[in-house]
Amino acid sequence: MTKSVEYFFSIGSPWSYIGFDAFAELAAKNDVVITPYLTTVVEENGGIFSRNRPEIRRAYWTRDLKRWARLRGKELRLEHRPDLSDPTPASLFVIAAYLDGQDWIGIARALQHAFWSEAKDIGKPDVREAIVTSAGFDGAALLRRQADDDVQNKWSADRVHARDSGVFGFPTYVFDGEIYWGQDNLPFLERHLHGDKP
């Protein structure tokens, strides 16, 4: 029987990038329909941007990211990154693709890889257009769509839904009313999908 998982993530979250393929594979294997919600850290629920954490915690966060990236087979460029603009506008490409029934997973994957593995400035419209075009998608069409009302409305509504669902950080998966925060919780999500609800 098909199951549905709400997936809250951020293009600007390295943890979302690290766990993205693992979650997509888990969903495919378990006949899961993914409903994506894109937003940024929900501070009103206790989420904390990494830049606002104490340095000792940021140092551990960096080491942990590297460990998990290696485990997941992802290359992270964390040091010597150029100054990049805010990557969140790239979320609008993913939202537009989802609303239009396109391969939003492939588009999100291309944008995340460009940002986290190649340090490309996906906050710039021409950069993200070129990235998704080179990945085989219609970047020009997505660029035009990002300003449309339905795309902007979903972007706004996604944040409200994240806040009201108790989400604070990314990635977060919600299945059958249960929240799983962090890509390291994927094994527990999969157990739940098989009937082992906490």
Give the domain ranges of the chain.
3-194
**Residue 8 binned pLDDT confidence (cut-offs 50, 70, 90):** very high
Question: Tokens representing 84?
Answer: 């990049």
Q: Does the structure show a pLDDT above 90 at 2?
A: no
173 versus 78: which is more confidently predicted?
173
> What is the structure's pLDDT at 155?
97
Q: What is the pTM of this model?
A: 0.93
Percent pLDDT > 70 in the chain is 99
**H helix runs in the chain, sequence order:** 14-29, 55-72, 91-99, 104-116, 125-134, 139-145, 149-164, 186-193
Mean pLDDT to the nearest integer, 44-55: 78
Q: Tell me the average pLDDT of the chain.
A: 94
Residue 16 annotated as catalytic: no
Adjacent-strand bridge partners of 100: none
Report pLDDT digits (tens) over 151-160. Answer: 999 999 999 9
As a whole number of Å, the CA-based R_g of the chain is: 16
Task: Round to whole Å and give the CA distance between 123 and 105.
Answer: 18
> What is the structure's pLDDT at 53?
81
Report pLDDT digits (tens) over 60-104. Answer: 889 999 999 999 999 999 888 888 888 999 999 999 999 999 999
User: Is the CB of residue 89 less than 8 Å from the CB of residue 147?
Assistant: no
Q: Does the structure show a pLDDT above 90 at 45?
A: no
Choice among 4, 10, 13, 134 that is catalytic:
13
Under CATH, what is the fold of the domain 3-194?
Glutaredoxin (3.40.30)
Q: Does the structure show a pLDDT above 80 at 52?
A: no
